[in-house]
Structure 1
Amino acid sequence: MKFTVIFSALAAFSVPWAALAQSTVKVTYDVYYENATWPLESTACSNGVNGLVTRGYPTLGSLPTFPNTTGIPGLTWNSTLCGTCWTVSYTFSNGTTTEVTVTAIDAAATFNMSPQAFGHLAGIDGYEAGSVEATAMQVAASECGM
């Protein structure tokens, strides 16, 4: 009985820590995310309690990190993932690592960034390939000015 209680308590505390772990992700880009006047009403993070419009951000350009914005897997309409902040790191073949911090604004099958954020992360090699494998880690919302 005591073991079950201890195990349950440990399991409850492990979930938040698991969310902080780095994950390997596919990163792509989308030209829609480079338009500062693009309305956030057209994203999964539009309205609702967790929506970005509800929080006072009507367009992509109104976000503190613009143009560093991204769609992410697992995000849906009114998701608690709306407005979360992520640091994505990419290592080039020569061993050089770059990183970019982005705000989650939409649903996507990949980390689907603005071309500017993608270019900063992966450079011309990334553009030529169309996508890269990188690591992503959720960081404090304050890292994105949220």
Structure 2
Amino acid sequence: MKFAALTSLLCAVTASLALPSARTTTAKVTYDQTYDNPNGSLNSVACSNGVNGLITKGMFPCRYTDFSSLPNFPFIGGVQGVSWNSTLCGSCWELTYNGTTIDVLAVDYAAAGFNIALEALDQLTYDQAVALGHVDAEFEQVSGTKCGLPA
């Protein structure tokens, strides 16, 4: 009898370990009004020039030069892991907070998580960005086309 009970318990534990866990990836999202400036120069961010820089992207004669020339402006900002000429430059990130989702274009470095335009964080938080200061949002890298970049 004890063997049967032990076997049953062992099978239950093994089955529960085999089930996939539902993990949500979250990161801190802050804002910086630098990214709200339509005249902000791409020369001032990590994703400026170089092979992976945004200045070298875009279709002639519509090269990206300032923040407003980016197709997803003002949904732009810094992303953790980005550095000068990083392959993450121009990557698109879907951020979700309390059921609201926005797509953010990586143009710069962030020390942790995401540091985006105030207008973008306001959109994500129903105009509560300043009051909240930051949020923890779910994130996922998505196709650049979601941020308006060519396929």
How high is the TM-score relative to the length of structure 2? 0.76
Q: Matched residue pairs, number?
A: 121
Distance 1:72 1:83 in 2: 10
Distance 1:138 1:42 in 2: 24
Match of 1:88 among 84, 87, 95: 95
Partner of 2:126, secondary structure, is helix
Q: Work out whether 1:134 is the aligned partner of 2:144.
A: no
Question: Please, what is the CA RMSD of the aligned residues?
Answer: 1.4
- What is the aligned partner in structure 1 of residue 5 from structure 2? none
Unaligned runs of 5+ in 2: 1-22, 58-62
Percent sequence identity over aligned pairs: 45
Partner of 1:27, secondary structure, is strand
Partner of 2:125, secondary structure, is helix
Match of 1:37 among 36, 39, 45: 39
Q: Work out whether 1:66 is the aligned partner of 2:77.
A: no
- What is the aligned partner in structure 2 of residue 24 from structure 1? 26
How high is the TM-score relative to the length of structure 1? 0.79
Partner of 1:61, secondary structure, is helix
Matches within 5 A, 1:43-122: 43-55=45-57, 56-91=63-98, 97-109=99-111, 110-122=113-125
Alpha carbons of structure 1 residues 22 and 36: separation in structure 2 relative to 1, 3 Å: farther
